[in-house]
Structure 1
Amino acid sequence: MRTILDLLQIPRFSDLILLTNAEYANLQVDSIEISETPDISFYIPEKTFLLTTAMIYQNDQSQIFNLIDSLQEKNAAGLGIKVGRYIDEIEQQVIDYANQKQFPIVQIPISIPLGSLLHQMLNLLWDKQTEQLNYALDIQRRFSNMLVNDVSIARFISDFGRLINTPVILVDPYKRVYAASKHFSKTTKPAEYYIDQVKLADPNFVNKKEDSILIKDLDQKTFLVSYFSVEHNHYFPHSLVILNPEKIPYPVSNFALEQAALVLSFMLYKNQKIQESYDILKTDFLTRMIEIQQAPNQEPRDWLDSGTTYGLVKARHYRVVYVACQQKEPYHSKIRYQEEVSQIGFHWLSDKLAHHIKDVTLFKVKDTAHYAIVVQHKQENLENILKTVAADLFERLDIQLQFGIGTIYDSIDDIAKSYIEAKTAFEEMQLLSTLPLTYQYQQKGMRSLFEKMGPSDITYFCEITLKKLAYPKEASMIELRKTLKYYLDFHCEIARTAKALFVHRNTIKYRIDQCNEIIGKNIHDSGVSLDLRLALELSEEDNL
């Protein structure tokens, strides 16, 4: 990057005189133009250093004020005025006005032709820009090779920091340090310290395409920090943070930094797609397991044999939590935003829950933006953990998670039951006037079945109520089911049941005790008895 001051320090331009304060001459110069027209600002690009003889202003230099204003609006780098041809000197009022506007004015002596000055300055700028462009392309080529060779992002950041000889930090969408260059191993403060300083100065820095701010170092001295959005077209991008960017050696340019950020975005995208492929396999496995476990008369399967790959383990307790991100009103129709929010929530839970819950695994739910947490050991404080993790995400990104919690089961073959309960609890939670963060499944009875008579609900109710007696295949179980039905139909009278079945009274007592043991509840309880009779009737047609 070249500025007016840089150009004036070159020996060949030593006859040029800066008339305004030097601090205003640090604007970047990308181009040089010559013009005598007052409306030239409409036809030049930004960061242009304009050269003129001020011919049209020879009778009234106060008209230069308008030229200064128009050039400043166009973000021009400065104005060079040649004296001795049409004007003998630049009046003090022009200099004062330029200082007031903080716009640099350079005096050009009559001995220097403007055409020659134009060519000399352009050659200088073009030579530097060519060098910077070639260097940026070298960086792109080098880092593209790293991408092809599957180099880790941590290695990329380390090499990049060494290349530009200044500390570099990659920040994830949660405003956490994802990777950092080796510079921080030599300091008493980690990279997280500097990111905390950036967050204090600019809490929304991760959502900016490019910006710079001043923060405090260890000695409480201010220094410059620049940051670039790695995926600026995302709602939740990564950011590349560079400390002391003014110390980056020549010929590294902004273009070179942008090329590094571009390659880094490809690396992140590649990792994302690899993870998504694995998540799809997990989703298909969960979908298949739930469908098979819900189907009647299914033979037991060894789910651990194929589920170990997806995080399933042998345990004594299994419980499913159904999760979704609460939708915000302005973003209901923005599908891409909802997808990113879902992805952000999923990765947050995958990372955080592993620190609190043993052998927890997450699955995305097919054809939705929701996910299922499978907790594989009894966790007494599960709700508190979920609320804490959700609160942390909400504080960072204003994303609210909601949890429907199923019942604990002692067999992996009952994961589908806990899943249905968790999903039902989540759906019921959405109907509440005030949405809680977590909602436990409540056991359903006869009334709720009549509210929604779907086949899966009926099958589930029968299995959860009758257990092995719901859809029995073994002769002994079929006989127990028959006995239970007669016994309930005869209002629990043993004598009438024995007479109807042509067996001894003691046989009925023995069979009812077996039914009690299988069902796990007192069948003489009025509420349990009502559910059992309903379940027997609902499953009778399938059992014939």
Structure 2
Amino acid sequence: MTTMKELLDLPRFSDLKVLNAGADLSHTVTSIEISETPDVAFYIPKDVFLLTTAMSYKNDQQGLIPLIDSLMRVNAAGLGIKTGRFLPEIDQSVINYANSVRFPLIQIPSTTPLGTLSHQMLNYLWNQKTEQMSYALDIQKRFSNLLMNDASIARFISDFGKMIKTPVILLNPFRQVIAHSKHFTQSSKPAEYYVGQVHEKKPHLSADTTDSFLITDMDSQEMQISIYPIRANNYFPYYLIILRPEQIPYPVSEFAVDQASMVLSFVIYKNLKVEESKQDIRSDYFKQLIENQQAPTLKQKNWLDLGQNFGIVNSHHYQVIYINCRNEKSSIFKDKLSREKIQLVNQWLTDSLAFHFRDALLFPMKNTNHLLLLLQSKNEAIDDILRTTAEELERVLPISLAFSYGHPCEKIDMIANSYIEAKIAFDEGFAKDPQPLINYYRPQGMLSLFERMQTDEIKYFCQSVLHELAYPEEDAMIELRRTLKTYLDYQCEITRTSKAMFIHRNTVKYRINHCEEILGTPIDDPNFSLNLRLALELSQEGDE
């Protein structure tokens, strides 16, 4: 990019004179315009150097002050006025005002045609642009060749650092260094030293715009860095960090950096898609394992051999843990945000849990935004490890995890049982608001079949079976119901019932006969016995 100072320092423009000593000549110039219109600011782009004879102001030079203000509002680079024909000289008050606002005010000699000056300046700017664009396309070509040759991300970053001759760092969405240029191999400070300062200055990096700010180098001197979001995903970008971007040599331009960023995003996207294909294969394996073990007729397969490529080992401890992102009430894998989240969770857990669990494996659940963690070794600190891992992730990204446990099993052929228990634990926890971070499986009895029934339906069933014994209020009926339940608990044995209740055998007989009169059916009737036991359990508040 060419600044006003660089443009005016060229020998061919040495006859142009800066009238105000305090002018800011660091502004970039991208275009040259000629106009005599007072409201020209409405029609020009930013970073323009405006040339004029100021004929509209020959009788009122004070009108140049509002013109300067309007040019500053559109971020113009400066104003060049040709003196002689309409303005013999520029009023000192106008020069003073331009100096007070640091806006460049340039005097053009009367012998210099504005058309010629504009043509010369544009030629220079366009030649600069052409050279910068050629270099940017050359970078793109070199990067494209690396892409075609399946080069690694580390190779891309290393080559890019050589091209622009300044240190470069690439961060993943977790703000971790995954590649850097070779500038850091001979430095006393690793790349993580500078990234740590970035985290302190900018805890939340922009996902959409380039950012630049100052940090401290290894000599405790301030240095500039620029950060470019690299969008391989829609919501969680990677970040390209360039140290000392002001030292990037000509003709490297912002356009060249953009070209490099674009090719880099393709490389990352390609790698993500390759990994996604591998995860789909893993998902298919685990799905087949579960479906086969749940089938009515079990097909004998050697799941150890089939799963060897996925990390399955022979063990006496297998446990399935169901993983989901909390605060997401849809389990269908249908939106991009959920998809990106679960891919990041998979990556985070794969890297984090390897330090704690031997042979721990992750399997994506097909067509859902959930994961399955298969533990193949015992670890007593599992709760603490998972809780800490989830908390560390949530400090970096807005992703909150929940874990639902199935019971451990001893054989690979029983993994489906642990999976079913983990899924039940997930369903119970998911129904709660908020969902607990850790959800345990509770053994399910027959009563769990009635948990989703309406209270009125349960009450009707109990009353139709037990009649007055369903919800008794009188002491005598309460005692009858208690005797009936104890009698059934002891498999209809009178002696054991009498001992358990500390009453005479004849009293038990009398009460059971009375119960049968109320129920209208013999208690030992096998077809009636199941309903009787269920009704007693479902109406158990009557025993309190």
TM-score, with normalisation over the residues of structure 2?
A: 0.80
Residue aligning to 2:120 = 120
2:422 match:
422
2:63 corresponds to which residue? 63
- The match for 2:352 is 352
Residue 273 (structure 1) aligns with: 273
Is contact 2:232-2:268 (8 Å) kept? no
1:21-420 equivalences in 2 (<5 Å):
21=21, 24-231=24-231, 234-327=234-327, 335-420=335-420
Output the aligned Cα RMSD.
Answer: 2.4
C-alpha distance in structure 2 between counterparts of 1:14 and 1:385, whole Å: 70
What is the CA distance between 1:437 and its match in structure 2? 1.0
> 1:511-540 CA deviation, whole Å, 9 max, x = no partner?
xxxxxxxxxxxxxxxxxxx9xx99xxxxxx
Task: Indicate if the aligned counterparts of 1:5 and 1:22 stay in contact, CA closer than 8 A.
Answer: no
CA–CA distance in 1 between the matches of 2:91 and 2:334?
58
Post-superposition CA distance 1:430-481 (Å, at most 9, x none): 223443211111111121133369xxxxxxxxxxxxxxxxxxxxxxxxxxxx
Which residue is equivalent to 2:8? Answer: 8
Cα separation, partners in 2 of 1:284 and 1:245, compared to 1, 3 Å: same
**Structure 2: tracts of 5 or more residues without a match:** 454-487, 494-529, 535-544
> 3-state DSSP class of the match of 1:403?
strand
After superposition, the C-alpha distances for 1:380-439 in whole angstroms (9 at most, x for unaligned) are: 111111111111110011211111111111111111111111121122112234432111
Give every structure 1 segment of 4 or more consecutive aligned residues whose post-TM-superposition deviation is greater than 6 Å. none
Conserved 8 A contact 1:209-1:232: no
Q: Secondary structure at the match of 1:428?
A: helix
| Equivalent AA in structure 2 for residue 291 of structure 1 | E
CA contact (8 A) 1:207 1:232 kept: no
Matches of 1:208 and 1:220, distance apart in 2:
30
SS of the residue corresponding to residue 205 of structure 1 reads coil
1:352 CA drift (Å): 1.0
Please tell me the residue identity of whatever aligns with 2:136: A
SS of equivalent residue, structure 1 residue 186: coil
* Amino acid of the structure 1 residue aligned with 2:216: K
Report the CA distance between 1:22 and its aligned residue.
Answer: 5.6
- Between the aligned partners of 1:336 and 1:310, the Cα distance in structure 2 is 26
Contact 1:171/1:239, CA 8 A, preserved across alignment? yes
Secondary structure of residue in 2 paired with 1:227: strand
1:405–1:422 CA contact under 8 A, matched in 2: yes
Contact 2:215 2:225 in 1 (8 A): yes
Contact 2:23 2:103 in 1 (8 A): no
Distance 2:138 2:308 in 1: 45
Distance between the aligned counterparts of 2:304 and 2:294, measured in 1?
Answer: 18
Q: Decide whether the 8 Å contact of 1:55 with 1:87 is kept in 2.
A: yes
**Is contact 2:333–2:367 with CA below 8 Å preserved after alignment?**
no
| Larger deviation, residues 17-26 vs 103-112 | 17-26
Whole-Å separation in 1 of the counterparts to 2:327 and 2:79: 53
- The alpha-carbon distance between structure 1 residues 95 and 334, as it changes in their structure 2 partners (threshold 3 A), is farther
Residues 147 and 232 (structure 1 numbering): CA distance in 2 closer, same or farther, change over 3 Å? closer
Distance 2:328 2:63 in 1: 54
State the 1:168 CA deviation: 0.3
- Deviation (angstroms), 1:189: 0.9
Quick one: which amino acid aligns to residue 340 of structure 1? E
Q: What is the deviation of 1:232? A: 7.7
| Deviation, structure 1 residue 354 | 1.2
**Cα distance in structure 1, aligned partners of 2:409 and 2:258:** 53
Q: How many residues align?
A: 461
Q: Output the CA distance in 1 between the equivalents of 2:93 and 2:210.
A: 38
Shift of 1:71: 1.8
Q: CA deviation at 1:233?
A: 6.7
1:358 partner amino acid? R
Q: How far apart are the structure 1 equivalents of 2:407 and 2:121?
A: 77
- What code does the residue aligned with 1:80 have? G
Counterpart contact for 2:210–2:228, Cα < 8 Å: yes
Structure exhibiting the larger radius of gyration computed from Cα positions: 2
Q: Distance in 2 between matches of 1:318 and 1:112?
A: 87
List per-residue Cα deviations over 1:316-346 (Å, max 9, x = no partner). Answer: 10111111112369xx999222222222212
For 1:121 and 1:422, how far apart are their aligned partners in 2? Answer: 72
- Under a length normalisation based on structure 1, what TM-score does the superposition of the two structures give? 0.80
Alpha carbons of structure 1 residues 98 and 337: separation in structure 2 relative to 1, 3 Å: farther
CA–CA distance in 1 between the matches of 2:98 and 2:419?
A: 72
Query: Would the aligned equivalents of 1:175 and 1:206 in 2 still touch at CA under 8 Å?
Result: no
Q: Among the aligned pairs, what percent are the same residue?
A: 51
- Other structure's SS at 1:356 match: coil
Provide structure 1 residue ranges, at least 5 long, that are not aligned to the other structure. Answer: 454-487, 494-529, 535-544
- In 1, Cα distance between equivalents of 2:289 and 2:232: 39
Tell me how far apart the structure 2 counterparts of residues 156 and 259 of structure 1 sit (CA, whole Å): 13
**2:405/2:440 contact within 8 Å kept:** yes
Structure 1 distance, partners of 2:394, 2:21, is 48
In structure 1, how many angstroms separate the alpha carbons of the residues matched to 2:341 and 2:95?
A: 54
Q: Secondary structure at the match of 2:139?
A: helix
Q: Summarize deviations over 1:254-309 as a string: whole Å, max 9, x none.
A: 11111111110010011011111111111111111111111223144211111111
SS at match of 1:140: helix
